[in-house]
Amino acid sequence: MKLKVKLVSHLRKYGKGKLDSRGKLTVKDGLTVKELLDYLEIPPEKKVIVLVNQREASKEHQLSAEDDVVIYNLLLGG
Amino acid sequence: MAEKVFGYAGKQLRISLTEGKIREEELDPKMLRKYLGGSGYGVKVLYDELEEGIDPLGPENKMVFATSPLTERQVPGGGSLEVCFKSPLTGTWGEARVGDEFGFAMRKAGYDFIIIEGQAAEPAYLLIDDGKVEIKSGEHLLGKSSSKKAEMIGAEEGADFSTLAIGQGGENQVLYSAIMINHRAVGRGGAGAVLGSKNILALSCRGSGQPEFADKDKYMDAVKTAHSKIREHPDTGDFREHGTTGDMGGCDAAGDFPTKNWQSNSWGKGEELYDYFYENNLVDNKQCYKGCPVGCGRIAEVKEGKYKTPAHEGAEYETMSAFTAFVLNEDVDVAVHCDYLCNEFGIDTISTGAAIAFAMECYENGLLSQDDTDGLELSWGNSEVLPLLVRKIAAREGIGDLLAGGVKNAAEKLGGTAHEYAVQVKGLEAPAHDPRSGKALAVSYGTGSRGSCHIHPVEAMGYDAGKMDFELSDFGLPDPEGVDRWAEKGKGTVVKLLQDGGTLPDIMGTCKFMFYVGVGVKDYAAMLSGLTGWDIDGWEMLKIGERAINLQKLFNLREGFDREDDMIHPRMGMQPKFGDYQDKPDCAIADFSAMLDEYYQERGWDQATGRPTPEKLQELGLA
């Protein structure tokens, strides 16, 4: 299935060579959020937030075709 | 002879300007373990010494410049100073923190705290050179920018003095003017106006002493542990490379990016604005004090063009958001230029950007016309007017005079629907984090002692939208991973603990950002135990935080602020009018009052008035 994945700002480095120019990614059906993060090689100790269609998703959440996935990490700019 | 307390320099300096008297006072050891330092010590002094209802810009107001034993170079974030006062912008408790070297210099000169009271007859600056303290004529500094004042004093007295100075904003009593040090700001609530009202244009300090530590080995062991945690934290490298400004994209994605004067919580442009900044404006990162293990400060410039701006320190997340998203400006060079101007004039970038956004919405709705704006076209995104408005605000010229009083006061003068566009709590302009990204932030905005600021409430945003626990899970904070950011139930409860922990850096005289890269309350308790010889743990630290918050609450209650003043501005919870979250009704706030009930319950405060119960005051030793 295809997902639209957006890695925000300083997380973009994890998408290099994996996402196409439109931010699309082809993965196996039924992939979980955790499996996606592992595929992108985002270190598990890094606190990233995953939004699927603008809703927070748990690591166990199972993704569906054409999901809009946004992954970000806050440095807590003040 | 007073009892020796290790870790402290041991004295406070009291400068009574009206009488021209300077005296050293011994510290009360019983007060130190109870209030520690920073804003904890500051609120105790000001609650005891200020009369109810005084004019914040009159001689009756006092300022406390405060450090703590943890204001030490080896302590992560130790290069800090807290300044406490009654705010002229809000009429509430006022405090603001700044980095750099002044806190170290104070302690080396022998003073943990400096209290400034009264009013000098003529413009002056204060020179503190070890134990020698003078009130010197400052006539020649009048009208100069903050950096020029510091440069002139450095040339006269010696480059090794650390200098805090106001700019023209403080001289002109802009109610949100700041005190500056190397383009870092004692930023929020109008400390610059208070210092200016006292006819003090700058403070310069140097010292050669060193407080004595109780157990240096124990202290250094705790320091090493803390630094090791920072080195190993997965965000430290990104924080150093991108600073706070690097959050523009993430906050926008999270719905934590107030846009067009809070009409939305996202814009969709945060990432590209930051990319432009990173490629074109960012010169380097910067430690605000020598030895900081993170160095999140930014050196920014505009290389060429109409807004050519010298390399300077600043352009942080809040400032860049205030001069882009707040006003729909897409020209990053203009935002960097406005940052520079605000620093030079010594005015708070957040309140300035918010006041301009307010003016734009008033203009759009016919409450202001070009007759009122000195002919300026205040349409959304009109970048050309931004630097002009900054200058007018600092000079209190034309429309700038109205905006220099803050959005709440300006809305009262304009009447009509203006209050709908004045996004503030207790009169403090709201910063660039949005409770529609997570509801805990709404509670912390409403109940913040100095209003809706960008420092004290941020843990709540980090908890809900960033899933961080700041090691407070060891003290009962529920795991944020299991919490729906848009749920309202339970948020009042968690905010109490987040605030008790989150206010500690302001009491400890340390930088809060160290909490975000792995250093927790227990680490600071261990360092403090080594410094002072006290056997103090995280629970006792949190109690110090809770005590300070309750005393700040009593300060505000005495000034007439009640439950109504703990309510958030409606814009903070309304359904976004555009952006990614426009069709996500769960992000809007359904029942803030119920969250406030829950918070008061957890705090032990009366539901109707917000007053701490007698039992709570007894428990905290405040009865």
Give Cα B175 distance to the centre of its chain: 15
Instruction: Give residue B168's pLDDT.
Output: 98
Q: What is the mean pLDDT of residues B68-89?
A: 98
Residue partners of B30: CB distance under 8 A and separation at least 6 = none
**Which residue do the tokens 């380097």 mark?**
B284
B residues 432-451 lying closer than 8 A (beta carbon) to A? 432
Q: What is the mean pLDDT of residues B490-507?
A: 97
Instruction: Give residue B1's pLDDT.
Output: 46
What CA–CA distance (Å, rounded) separates B580 from A8? 15
- A74 and B248 within 8 Å at the Cβ level: the answer is no
What CA–CA distance (Å, rounded) separates B448 from B95? 11
pLDDT tens-digit readout, B204-244 = 999 999 999 999 999 999 999 999 999 999 999 999 999 99
Q: What is the mean pLDDT of residues B271-276?
A: 97
Q: How far is A27 from chain B (nearest CA, A)?
A: 23
Q: What is the mean pLDDT of residues A35-61?
A: 92
> Which pairing describes strands B81-86 and B162-165: parallel, antiparallel, or unpaired?
unpaired
Instruction: Give residue B458's pLDDT.
Output: 86
Q: Say yes or no to pLDDT of B17 above 80.
A: yes
Task: List the single range of B162-166, B423-427, B467-471, B536-540 with lowest mean pLDDT.
Answer: B467-471
B238 three-state secondary structure:
helix
A44 three-state secondary structure:
coil
Report the mean per-residue pLDDT for chain B.
97
ipTM: 0.94
C-alpha dist (Å) from residue B258 to A32, B579, B591: 31, 11, 20
| B242, B254, B481 ranked by CB distance to A10: nearest | B242
pLDDT tens-digit readout, B290-311 = 999 999 999 999 999 999 999 9
Instruction: Give residue B51's pLDDT.
Output: 98
Q: Which of B279, B216, B291 is nearest to B242 (CA)?
A: B279
Count other Cβ atoms within 10 Å, centred on residue B304. Answer: 9
- A49 and B247 within 8 Å at the Cβ level: the answer is no
Q: Which of A40, A74, A29, A61 is nearest to B249 (CA)?
A: A74
The answer to whether residue A39 neighbours chain B at the CB level (below 8 Å) is no
| B245, B467, B481 ranked by CB distance to A77: nearest | B245
Q: Say yes or no to pLDDT of B553 above 60.
A: yes
Residue partners of B87: CB distance under 8 A and separation at least 6 = B56, B93, B94, B189, B190, B194, B427, B428, B450
- 3-class SS string, B490-511: CHHHHHHHHHHHHCHHHHHCCC
| A45, A47, A51 ranked by CB distance to B466: nearest | A47
Q: How far is A28 from chain B (nearest CA, A)?
A: 26
Q: Say yes or no to pLDDT of A77 above 70.
A: no
What CA–CA distance (Å, rounded) separates B415 from B410? 9
Q: Say yes or no to pLDDT of A78 above 70.
A: no
What CA–CA distance (Å, rounded) separates B464 from B484? 7
Q: Supply the DSSP string of B554-581, one letter for each residue.
A: HHHHHTT--GGGGSPPGGGGSPPSSSTT
- 3-class SS string, B121-187: CCCEEEEEECCEEEEEECHHHCCCCHHHHHHHHHHHHCCCCEEEECCHHHHCCCCCECEEECCEEEC
- A74 and B466 within 8 Å at the Cβ level: the answer is yes
C-alpha dist (Å) from residue A18 to A15, A61, B119, B510, B539: 5, 21, 65, 41, 47
Structure-token pair, residue B534:
């006290």
- A10 and B246 within 8 Å at the Cβ level: the answer is yes
Structure-token pair, residue B468:
């961080």
